[in-house]
Amino acid sequence: MSVDSTIASLVERRAAILAAEPNLRARNLAERLGISEAELVALGGEKSEVTRLRPEWSGIIGAVGALGRVMALTRNESVVHERKGVYGTLEGGAHVGLIVGEDIDLRIFFTQWKFGFAVVEKMEDGSLRRSLQFFDAHGTAIHKIYQTPETDTAAFDALIARFATEASPVEVTAAPAPKQALPDSEIDVAGFRAAWDALKDTHEFHGLINKFKVQRLQGLRLAGEGRAARVPAASLRATLEAAKSGEVPIMVFVGNPGMIQIHTGPVENLKPMGPWFNVLDEKFNLHLREDHIDSAWVVWKPTEDGTVTSLELFDREGTLIATLFGKRKPGVPEDEAWRAIVNGLPEREAA
């Protein structure tokens, strides 16, 4: 089959699927077509103009602040995190970057970024919706940036023109099989627990699990009493509802290998819809598949500012879906109202 006929077949099948399910998300549409989402975007369409972007990732992200208010979207297999705001100054380097702001708060791992596109879609009302979309080497979405009514569209068009390059084939690689955890018997559990108790900052936790060669979920299971406890999978909903009713500001971290996106603030409009549990606020939207939560854990980490308490959600493969904290800043003790919410969750089984 020629390349042209393959593309024609994909376009025809895409049209048939969308005719039946017009609200299907791009990630799921790509799965149905048997291609990656990056390949789906590269197909283009009658109502969209797609421009390939040069792989100057830090340059592009550093220029997004000039667009004004946009919507930042980061997701993984189980959750979509959307936050509106203005991108602040990009800090860091070519490999790891960060944007720290009240609205847009990102930790960026540029080494995972492989493909970038600008997409201009013609909407049903005739308006244009601009977006920047970035993918890893497997064609999996890392981060997307969408125009809002407050966006400077002339600046958006100028950014696209500045970083545009010629279209070329999107050649994705297969994702590697997940790395298997070491048997518990090969872990220095006593040393791991002692090092956990010596933590001074939550950011040291990643180094801790790497040092002792434990996977994150395995580490929580081996942590022992007072460090981690398994709670019911329904704890996400209970936590968000308690934060809403108590007007407790929280932090919601959602990530993938190329990006971590953080919401800090209240949650107000909570809506379950089928398997999805949603936060539908003006600045912040969260869409999380509750049926993907295989285990939920309350985790206590010592820091120089006192104990920091989090709720961590994992899928059946042991992949981290999302992490929730109370709103906090370095040098400030944890919010007692947040601590009370999470410590009040019923323990399902001891870690």
Task: Please check whether residues 135 and 68 belong to one and the same domain.
Answer: yes
Task: Please check whether residues 241 and 209 belong to one and the same domain.
Answer: yes
Confidence class for position 116, pLDDT limits 50, 70, 90: very high
What pLDDT does residue 7 have?
84
Q: Inform me whether the pLDDT recorded for 20 exceeds 50.
A: yes
Task: Please check whether residues 85 and 205 belong to one and the same domain.
Answer: no
139 near 53, Cβ under 8 Å?
A: no
Residue with token string 């048939």: 16
Task: Please check whether residues 256 and 142 belong to one and the same domain.
Answer: no
Confidence class for position 1, pLDDT limits 50, 70, 90: very low
Dig out the tokens for 40 from the structure.
Answer: 């789906």
Q: Inform me whether the pLDDT recorded for 3 exceeds 70.
A: no
What pLDDT does residue 16 have?
92
The mean of the pLDDT values for the chain is 94
Q: ∠ CA(288), CA(340), CA(101), 5° rounding?
A: 55
Asked, for residue 151, whether it belongs to a domain, the answer is: yes
CA pair distance 284, 84, nearest whole angstrom: 7
Among 278, 288, 300, residue whose Cα is nearest residue 351: 300
Strands laid side by side in the 70-75 sheet: 164-165, 48-53, 115-122, 128-135, 141-147, 70-75, 79-85, 284-289, 276-280, 270-273
Confidence class for position 346, pLDDT limits 50, 70, 90: confident
Task: Please check whether residues 191 and 153 belong to one and the same domain.
Answer: no
Task: Please check whether residues 138 and 202 belong to one and the same domain.
Answer: no
Percent of the chain predicted with pLDDT > 90 = 86
Domain containing 247: what range? 184-270+289-350
CATH of the domain at 193: 3.40.1570.10
Strands 115-122 and 48-53 turn out to be antiparallel
Confidence class for position 190, pLDDT limits 50, 70, 90: very high
Q: ∠ CA(117), CA(99), CA(228), 5° rounding?
A: 105
Task: Please check whether residues 338 and 203 belong to one and the same domain.
Answer: yes
Span 101-113, average pLDDT? 97
Task: Please check whether residues 56 and 199 belong to one and the same domain.
Answer: no
Q: Number of structural domains, the chain? A: 2
Span 321-328, average pLDDT? 96
Span 334-341, average pLDDT? 96
Task: Please check whether residues 199 and 231 belong to one and the same domain.
Answer: yes
Task: Please check whether residues 191 and 319 belong to one and the same domain.
Answer: yes
Dig out the tokens for 11 from the structure.
Answer: 């376009």
Task: Please check whether residues 234 and 134 belong to one and the same domain.
Answer: no
Task: Please check whether residues 73 and 196 belong to one and the same domain.
Answer: no
Long-range contacts of 90-98 (CB under 8 A, 24+ apart): 90/58, 90/61, 90/62, 93/58, 94/58, 97/58, 97/61
Confidence class for position 348, pLDDT limits 50, 70, 90: low
